[in-house]
Amino acid sequence: MKYPKILPGLILTAVLILSSFLYGQSSEWVDFYGSNYPNCVAIQGNDVWTGTRTGLIRFNRLTSAKDFYFTFNSGLPDNYVTSIAVDKKGVKWIGTNRGLAKFDGKAWTVYNSSNSGLPGEVISSIVVDTLGNIWIGTSESGIARFNGTIWTVFNSQSGLQDNRITALAVDRSNNTVYAGYYSTGVSKFNGVKWSWIEPGSLYPLFYYTDITSLAVDSRGTLWAGTSRNGVEKYEGSKWDFYSSESDGEWIFPQTLCMGRDNELWIGAVNKLIRFDIVSKKMVSYNSIYDNMPFDEIRGIALDSEGNLWLAARHPIIHNGGLIKFNRIKWEDIGITSTGLPLDKINCLVRDKEGTAWIGTSEHGLIKYDGSGWTQYEKSNSGLISNFINTIAIDSAGNKWIGTDEGLSVFDGTNWTSIKIPGPAYASNIVTSIAFDRKNHKWVGTRFGLFEFDGNNWTTYTSESVLPDNTITAVNVDKDATIWIGTYGNGIASYDGSKWNIYNSSTSEIPYNDIQTMIIDNNGRQWISTLEHGILQFDQKSWKSFTSDNSGLPFYDIKSLALDSYGNLWAGSSDSGLVSFNGTSWKVYNTHNSYLSDNNVNHIFVDRLNNIWISTDDGISIFREGGVVLTGVTQKRNNPNPENYRLGQNYPNPFNPVTKINYEIPVGGFAELNVFDVLGNEVACLVKGFKPAGNYTVSFDGSSLPSGIYFYRLKADSFSETRKLMILK
C-alpha cells in the first residue's frame, strides 16, 4: 500500500497556524442544560438535526456521535430553535427567536432584521422550494423569500391574509407555496401572487382556526393541521375534515409529515397517528398502550430507510427528547449536553465540600459533585415531595429541603420527613428556611412562620404577631434578629423579645409585596418587591431602586444575592440578570451573554465567587475572570486523571470513522477540533464545559478527502496537537 508523501515544511506551517488560533469561548460562563425540550427535527443524510429550546443538536445515526450547538460555541443567534430546513447542497437553515442562521457545516451566517431583508426575527417556519429559494415565515412580520442574494418580503400589504405565519409547505409538482396563519386559514402562492383559499361552506369554523402545520402529498393534495378542527384536506376546490379517530377521540395535530405508501404521519399533543390517505384508516400510538417514550410530538422526519425521527415531549412533565421509531420499536436518543437530568431549576446551594444541591419544580433533588449527577425523588429516596422550593444547609452539613408537602432532612445517608403543624394545605408549603445561633430552624410557609428547636414547634401567624401568613423570605442578621418577608403586608422583625412591622401603613416602605430578602455585611436589608424594583433598608431609612430613578432595567425581581465584593445580583422573571456595584447596573441576558434563560429563579454565590444562576432552562455559572470549579468534590470509583492528555486516534489511518481519547484532571472548558494542513477547521468534536474524567469521541471523516489532518485539544492552559490520516 502506498501512502502520500508528507512534506515536513507543510506540516510545520500547519502546526504553527494551529498554535496561533484563539480560544473561542469565554471561560467566564459555564452552562448546564438539562433534558432538552425539542421543537423540530430534520434529516440530512446520516445526520439527524434536532432544534430545541436550548440549542441545536446533530446526531449521526450510524456512529451515534453527537454535536451540540449553542450561542456560546457556534453562530446560533439564539438557543431557542424553532425550525430547520436543509437545502439541496446540505446547508442547514435554522430559525430561532432572534433571527435566521445558515450553517454549511463549517461557517455560520446570521440574518436578522438589521443586516438583511428579513422582516422579523421570530422565525416560525422554513421551507426550501424546488428552485432552491428559502422561504421564511415569521410570527408577526409575514414571509421572506431569499434566493441567496435577493430578499423579497410578503405581508398583509402584498397579498397575505395575515402577518402571523405558523406554517409553510411546498407542492413539489408545481412549486406552489402554501402559508398557514395564526387564525385565518391558508393562502397559496403560484409564483406571481398570493391568493387566500376560501373556506367555502365550512365558514366560519375554518376561518377562525389556527393552522399548526402543513404538508403536501405526491398528488398535490394539501393537508393542514389545525388547533380546533383536527386534520383538513384541500384538493383544489373543497375542504374535508378528519377531526377524530374511529373511537371518537378528537385529534389535536401539531406537526404533519408525508410518509411512504400513501401515509400521513400526524404528531399530536398526546399521540402519534399514522393516517392512510386512501383508506382513511388511522392507527395511533401513545405511551400507555405502545410504550412510546413521550406523547407530545412537535416534529417528524423520515430517513431514507423509512425510520421516523420524532421531536417529542412529555405533555405535562418538563421533559422530552429525540425518538427513533422503526415502526416496531422505540428508541429514546439521549440528547442532553450535560448530565443534568432536568432543566427547570428552583433553587441551588453548595456545601462545604463544593457539592451542589439543586431543587427542581417537578423531579426532586439533584446532587452534582463535579463528576456526576445523582437524582433523588420520592420513588428512590426518602424525599417527601418532588416539588422543591428552597434548600438550606445547617452547621452539621444536613440538607434541609423545603417542599410543597413539608420538610425533608438529608444527612448524606438517612432521610427524615417532617410535617409542620397547622393546615396541611398551607403550612407544609415551605418557602424559606433559616437557622439562628441556637440552631433553631425558622421555616416560612404559606400559613405563617414556624420555629423548630429540634423537638417542639412554635407557631407565629397573622392572628398573633405577623402582618401576613404568606411568608416569602426568612433571614437572620448578625444581631440574631429574625427578618420575615410577606407577600401582601410588608416585613416583620423579631429580636427575641419584640416584634416590629414594616409596611406602607407603619413605615416608609412603599410596597408590601415582598419577593425575597438578603442582608449585606453592613446589616442593610436588600428587598425585592413584586413589579416595584428593589428596596434597601439600613435600619433607619428606606431607599428605592426602580427603572425611573436608577439604572435598574426591570421591575419584577425574583431573586437576590451578594458576591464577595459586595456587588448585588438580581434575577428577573423574564428579563435576565443584573448586577449593581453601588454605582452602575450591568445587564446579562440571553442576547448579550451566555445566560441559559431569562427567567432567573434563584441566585447563589459560592466561596470562590462563582455566581450560580438557576433558570427555567438549567444552570448558568458566571465568574468574571473565569469560572473556577476546582472546589467541587469529585468522587469516582476510578480516580480522575492526574494530568491533561490527548491520545493518538485509533485506527490510524482510517476510513471513515476513528476514535480519539483525551483526559481532563480538573473540570473546565475544553475544545477538541480537527484541522486540515492549511489550518482550516474541518470539525469541532468538543466545545464546552467538561467535568474531570477520561473521554472518547468519534470522528467521522466520510465527507473529507484522503490526506493528513490535525486534531487539537485545548483545556485551561493545556494545548496539544496530534496528526491523523484519512485513507480512502
Share of residues in the chain with pLDDT > 90 (%) = 63
Closest CA to 496 of 470, 477, 517, 472: 477
The residues, ordered by sequence, that sit 6+ positions from 519 with a Cβ below 8 Å of its Cβ are 475, 477, 478, 483, 525, 526
pLDDT in tens, 683-716: 999 987 787 788 889 999 999 999 999 999 998 7
Write down the pLDDT at residue 13. Answer: 25
CB-based contact 112:122 (threshold 8 Å): no
Residues 567, 589: Cα–Cα separation, whole Å: 18
* Nine cell digits for residue 75: 453562530
pLDDT digits (tens, 9 = 90+) for 120-136: 999 999 999 999 999 99
pLDDT computed for residue 370 by the predictor: 79
pLDDT for the residue numbered 343: 63
Query: Which of the pair, 641 or 141, is modelled with greater confidence?
Result: 141
Mean of the pLDDT values across residues 444-449? 95
Query: In the structure grid, which three cell numbers stand for residue 43, read together?
Result: 434529516
DSSP secondary structure of 582-608: SS-EEEE-TTTS--S-S-EEEEEE-TT
> What's the pLDDT band for 422 if we cut at 50, 70, 90?
confident
Q: Which of 38, 129, 24 has its CA nearest to residue 73?
A: 24
Give the model's pLDDT for residue 687: 84
Residue 390 CB contacts under 8 Å (≥ 6 apart), including other chains: 346, 347, 359, 401, 402, 430, 431, 432, 433
Model confidence band, residue 448 (pLDDT cutoffs 50, 70, 90)? very high
Over 70: is that where the pLDDT of 10 sits?
A: no
Domains and CATH numbers, the chain: 1-27+637-728 (2.60.40.1930)
Burial class (CB within 10 angstroms; exposed 0-12, middle 13-18, buried 19+) of 524: middle
| Helix (H) / strand (E) containing 678 | none
Handedness of CA 58, 59, 63, 67 (dihedral sign): positive
pLDDT given at position 350: 94
> CA 613, 618, 623: angle at the middle one, nearest 5?
35
Amino acid 251: pLDDT: 83
pLDDT, residue 594, reads: 84
Residue 35's pLDDT is what?
A: 64
Question: Is residue 208 very low, low, confident or very high in pLDDT (cuts 50, 70, 90)?
Answer: low
Q: How much is the pLDDT for 299?
A: 97
- Residue showing cell 395511533: 284
Could you tell me if 654 and 628 are in contact, meaning their C-beta atoms sit under 8 angstroms apart?
no
Cα(370)–Cα(667) distance, integer angstroms: 7
pLDDT in tens, 18-76: 222 222 234 688 888 876 789 999 999 999 999 998 889 999 998 888 888 888 778 89
Mean per-residue pLDDT, 521-545: 91
533 has a pLDDT exceeding 50: yes
Model confidence at 630, in pLDDT bands (50, 70, 90)?
low
pLDDT band at 318 (very low <50, low <70, confident <90, very high): low
As a whole number, mean pLDDT of residues 176-197 equals 94
Cis-peptide, bond into residue 315, ω within 30° of zero:
no
Amino acid at 562: L
Among residues 703, 722, 723, 726, the alpha carbon closest in space to that of 713 is found at 722
Predicted local distance difference test score (pLDDT) of residue 246: 56
Q: How confident is the model at residue 468 (pLDDT cuts 50, 70, 90)?
A: very high
